[in-house]
Structure 1
Amino acid sequence: MTRLDAAGRPIDRAPGSRWGDDLAVPIGLGTNTFGRTTDAAASHRVLDEFAEAGGVLVDTADTYSDGASEVILGDWMRARNNRAQVVVTTKCGNLPPFDGLSASQVAAAAEESLRRLGTNYIDLYFAHYQDDETPIEETAEAFDALVRVGKIRAIGLSNFTADAVCEWIDTANANGLAVPVALQPHYSLVHRKPFETELAPLASEAGLAVLPYRALGGGFLSGKYRTEADTEDRARGGGVRPLITPEGLGLLDTIDAIAQEHNVTAAAIALAWLMQSPTVTAPLVSATSGAQLDDLLAAPAVTLDEAQITRLDIASDGLT
């Protein structure tokens, strides 16, 4: 785990490297199902298997199951006595009564997350959603204050426009504040814009780590949703139903063909495509069982050739 100074700058990091470049397994475990569709015992089993496979980055948020996800993760770290071996990312700004990114809300939300997680620091703390009602300077100062007292080690931005990311970085640089080191955008083969057109060039220029969420398109890219009947009575059915089109199914056919060439699952191919993007540090994925997790953890061993990447690019072009 890379150490940071009081301003959130990495110590002993090689020039030109990004936050997260030293992750042993370049995949993050998303915990949005913990406490909702996955109970504590099942969640702990998934966490155990993720850790046993070498995974270290676990992503949560105060809004996930209204804080229950953070509690489950905190209980697991305490039971396993492994806090130092886990890279914890969590988020604030979207859970009442601490919604928004004013200085007081950010400070209060951080205290609540620390309490639920049972830790005295958060490795990477995200502003979950852009808050146009609060000046970015106020929010940047609030996050910087958390860095300076050691409650968070680095700052990330999720669901921010490119203009807002630039404004935060410029404000931080102009005022000697801790600068954001990571983005968490919505990005996958079925949702390529606005990340590719607006955020990817910025991430590359600013050296920002990129941790995409919904990396499997809400489960669509795993291939389990091919008809409207497949979406019935499924928690994510409504979100993937619009993707069941000739174009969407054509993309699944392309993924399936490439998966057969590598003898892996469709999900592993969709993740491999993300992981081979030069701007992506680690996609975030959710799993409710060890079997699901095994499929996902096969992705880092897959190397797509240029022709396969082009086939995927063409098949997914125009879906978003």
Structure 2
Amino acid sequence: MAALGGTGIEIYPLVLGTNTFGWNTPENEAHAVLDAFAAAGGNLVDTADSYSAWAEGNSGGESETVIGTWLAKNRSAGVLVATKVSQHPEFKGLSGPNVRAAADASLKRLGVEAIDLYYAHFDDAETPLEETVGAFNDLVTEGKIRHIGVSNYSPERLREWLDITERTGAARPVALQPKYSLVSRGSFEPGLRDIAVAEGLSGFPYHVLASGFLTGKYRTEADLAQSVRGGSASRHLNPSGLAIVEKLDQIARGRGVAPASIALAWARSRPGIAAPIAGARVADQLAPLLASADIELTADEADELTALSDFIGA
């Protein structure tokens, strides 16, 4: 199991991403995914109040609503929910009043008394950081959120957030959500990684399968048409990216698992990372994701993958 900062809470070594819920995963299928995840021992689900405002006909909050209807029928499952604030069309930014209003809206959609882990989704340069830190602290004090996380912050701004909590006694973040994978390491390493390790923050990275590229699904230009995510994966379709996929393939074949399982296990093996986030559009896609939780790469396997990706930027 992984740790949630210094809270004493243990987390299954895979976090379920849900940005397809209420978009291209309808509610009944999303509930099937959640059922299978919980049955396997999964206990942290990741969403955001803005999922999936980008889809035609949606306005944001759809994923939270779908999770909420599942939670209403599965209170005893022990599943924790992480959600985020700053990107919902009606709740942009991280001003104090906005953070409070957005949290209340998320609580209503999720149908819970408290949000287990509440992230600042993206930095808000227009709002003094002291105001944002104070708003999150107030929500903890009032029992509306249990723990604080920070997502997509620079090392400098994360350090500033932590310094403010030291100075004011405000509740500290316990989690960090960076973009991180074998083909996108620069956003996390070395700055955020070093802070996470030094301060005991648990890293729960997203984009770990690089829009499906690290599953081995995309090997040629023609393959990109297989999925709506093909366009996002196309930037990795080059000799360097394909060399990583080939190494994932080799290790996966030797272990009798899927390349995605190895890519997720590699991320979990890295300093500062507690558990990767990965999503499944349908329940049948969960198996290789869940399999990663039981894989411990050898030092040689991890080093070979790391060496192939050492030059990769953000």
**Aligned residue pairs, count:** 304
Residue range with higher mean Cα deviation, 53-62 or 304-313:
304-313
Match of 1:126, SS state, is strand
1:141 equivalenced with 2:134 (yes/no):
yes
Q: Deviations over 1:134-156 (max 9, x none)?
A: 00000000000000000000110
Deviation of the 1:228 alpha carbon? 1.5
Q: Which amino acid in 2 is paired with 1:28?
A: V
CA distance in 1, matches of 2:121, 2:5: 24
Q: Deviations over 1:54-106 (max 9, x none)?
A: 000000100112101000000001022337x1111000011122100000100
Partner of 1:299: 292
| Aligned residues of 2:178 and 2:187 also touching (Cα < 8 A) | no
Partner of 1:62: 49
| Aligned residues of 1:123 and 1:153 also touching (Cα < 8 A) | yes
| Aligned residues of 2:5 and 2:202 also touching (Cα < 8 A) | no
Match of 1:37, SS state, is coil
Partner of 1:22: 10
Partner of 1:229: 222
CA distance in 2, matches of 1:263, 1:232: 28
Q: With structure 1 as the length reference, what TM-score do the two structures score?
A: 0.92
1:74 equivalenced with 2:65 (yes/no):
no
| Aligned residues of 2:224 and 2:234 also touching (Cα < 8 A) | yes
Runs of 4+, deviation exceeding 6 Å: none
| Aligned residues of 1:216 and 1:267 also touching (Cα < 8 A) | yes
Q: 1:47 aligns with which of 34, 38, 48?
A: 34
CA distance in 2, matches of 1:295, 1:135: 43
Match of 1:90, SS state, is strand
Q: With structure 2 as the length reference, what TM-score do the two structures score?
A: 0.94
Partner of 2:83: 90
CA distance in 2, matches of 1:47, 1:155: 23
Deviation of the 1:21 alpha carbon? 6.0
1:252 equivalenced with 2:245 (yes/no):
yes
Give the RMSD, CA atoms, in angstroms: 1.5
Match of 2:25, SS state, is coil
CA distance in 1, matches of 2:277, 2:189: 17
| Aligned residues of 1:27 and 1:284 also touching (Cα < 8 A) | yes
Q: Deviations over 1:248-299 (max 9, x none)?
A: 1111101100001111100000011011113111110001222211111111
Between the two proteins, what is the percent identity of the paired residues?
Answer: 46
